[in-house]
Amino acid sequence: YGQMALCVQMGGVAESSNHREFGRAFVEIEKESPLFEGLWAPGQRHQVWMSHGDRVIELPPGFKVLGKSESSPFAIFGDIERKMYGIMFHPEVVHTPDGARLLRNFVHNIAGIEGDWTMRAYREHAVDTIRKQVGKGKVICALSGGVDSSVAALLIHEAVGDQLTCILVDHGLMRKDEAQSVVEMFRQHYNLPLILVDASDRFISALEGEADPEKKRKTIGRLFIEVFEEEAKKLGGADFLAQGTLYPDVIESVSFSGGPSVTIKSHHNVGGLPERMNMK
């Protein structure tokens, strides 16, 4: 529905259609465009993949028809000067054979994006950002041994070294000997400052008799924070609490008033956080 949204936002008209298109279709190119450079030319017919139930019936001011299909006179439109394009098909799927090249034309030739992103560059940027944010502060990282918290811990350690202390909380809900295995792996292979806290009795006691999954998650989150704050005091204080929290965890856990999401389930890294903490 991106094409229809662009159309309406820029002053055109779109409406629901009784004729829905799904599957293989063909577009006929009407005009030359930077979007088609080295790929499509006027008069040619090309296979695409469609999936829509709405249609554009009036173009916004400044936009021109670049291609049409059997059922739509506005299958492809654009404003070349403003570098805006709307297409009524999916370029990202393999069923649109030239889709990837269309996207490449848009990204490189129209948007002017270099395409020089690498994981190494991202890592260097992340480490630099962490170093600037932490400064001379101290960090404790909630480490579970999972991918998310492990990546967070290694990036932070690369950025600030011994200003980081990782804390692995054995809450009694892990697999047999898992906590000790994680500790051994990180101490042997990564040489991270790591403390193992056995809080299994504390967690199990707090969860005893509770059947509601949401209340369990809230309880686990609250106890985690309590343990981290207690350990931070033993270390002489900490300025930051680091977690391997993914954005989907936040989306699932928090419902913003007027926002696009509802609370699906609280994640213990998010839903259990108190409003006020002694760490950032």
Model pLDDT for residues 183-225, shown as the tens digit of each residue: 999 988 988 889 999 999 999 999 999 889 888 888 888 898 8
Q: Per the structure block, which two tokens stand in for 255?
A: 């419902």
pLDDT band for position 251 (cuts 50, 70, 90):
low
99 pLDDT above the threshold of 60:
yes
What's the rounded Cα separation, in Å, for the pair 158 and 178? 25
Domains of the chain, earliest start first? 2-110 (3.40.50.880), 119-253 (3.40.50.620)
User: Which one has a higher pLDDT value, 247 or 191?
Assistant: 191
pLDDT tens for each residue of 134-189: 999 999 999 988 899 999 999 999 999 999 999 999 999 888 999 999 999 998 89
Write phi, then psi, for 229 (nearest 5 degrees): -70, -35
Strand 194-198, strand 164-170: pairing: parallel
What pTM value is reported for the model? 0.60
Q: Which residues contact 224 (CB under 8 A, 6 or more apart)?
A: 142, 169, 171, 268, 269, 272
- How confident is residue 116, by pLDDT bands cut at 50, 70 and 90? confident
pLDDT above 60 for 264: no
Q: How far apart are CA 21 and CA 68, in angstroms?
A: 14
Characterise 123 by phi-psi region: left (phi > 0), alpha (psi -120 to 50), beta (else): alpha
